[in-house]
Amino acid sequence: MTEKERMLSGKLYSANDSELKANAKKSRMLTRLFNNTTEEQKEYRVELLKNLFEKTGENLYVEPPFRCDYGSNISVGNNFYANFDCIILDVCKVDIGENVMFAPRVCIYTAAHPIDVDVRNSGLEFGKPVKIGNNVWIGGSTVINPGVTIGNNVVIGSGSVVTKDIPDNVIAVGNPCRVLREITKEDKIYWERQKEEYYSNI
């Protein structure tokens, strides 16, 4: 296996590899170009992100600055929005569904290091993939750790550190992040009424 194949499979690997260095260099170039764009260059921003990410859907919007390791291991669905200062360390796959919104300073880490000091100091590292479902809102300054899956229709409260999987249809918050409660029919009724009130006054 190549070092890249080892990395993507979650095995120990060395990032000091010519292929990985070339991939990282391309990512740094594309993110530098992206982060130096202006608000008048929306189409160019999308073009850069489509060259950076493995897969994108329609309606892709990321506020600069944005950082990632490789970009080529990130897939996002339709209607993806990330606010300022998003960081995605994508040494393994990051799969993001449709209608997902990130508040400012959301960080996704697939990268990890061995607990044993001697192995860690040798420079070997590893990763675990992250998956985020459809219709998810991630609150500001949230950290999503390696190996986590977040289900569909989830709200993650701001400042959370997500260390374990989060099921569908819940609000979760905290450090470590835990399910606060299910999202209910009453929530839907309340917010539908708020929307009706909004449209009745414009």
pLDDT digits (tens, 9 = 90+) for 5-23: 999 999 999 999 999 999 9
The pLDDT value given to residue 5: 97
3-state secondary structure at position 31:
helix
The pLDDT value given to residue 1: 93
- Cβ contact 77:101 at 8 Å: no
The pLDDT value given to residue 131: 98
- Name every residue whose Cβ is closer than 8 Å to that of residue 27 and which is 6 or more positions away in sequence: 52, 68, 69, 70, 71, 72
The pLDDT value given to residue 202: 78
E strands, 91-164, in order: 94-96, 100-102, 107-109, 111-112, 124-127, 130-132, 137-138, 143-144, 149-150, 155-156, 161-162
User: Would you place residue 72 in the very low, low, confident or very high pLDDT band (cuts 50, 70, 90)?
Assistant: very high
The pLDDT value given to residue 28: 98
pTM over 0.85: yes
- Domains and their CATH numbers in the chain: 3-199 (2.160.10.10)
- Cβ contact 126:112 at 8 Å: yes
Q: Mean per-residue pLDDT for 60-86? A: 98
The pLDDT value given to residue 19: 97
CA 89 to chain centre: 8
Long-range contacts (CB closer than 8 Å, 24 or more residues apart) made by 32-35: 34/62, 34/64, 34/66, 35/64, 35/65, 35/66
Res. 157: pLDDT tops 90: yes
Q: What percentage of the chain carries pLDDT values higher than 70?
A: 100
Q: For 89-141, what is each residue's pLDDT tens digit? A: 999 999 999 999 999 999 999 999 999 999 999 999 999 999 999 999 999 99
Query: 11, 50, 113, 188: which one is catalytic?
Result: 113
User: Would you place residue 195 in the very low, low, confident or very high pLDDT band (cuts 50, 70, 90)?
Assistant: very high
CA 75 to chain centre: 9
The pLDDT value given to residue 97: 98
Distance (Å, whole) CA 133 – CA 169: 11
The pLDDT value given to residue 201: 82
Q: Is residue 119 flagged as an active site residue?
A: no
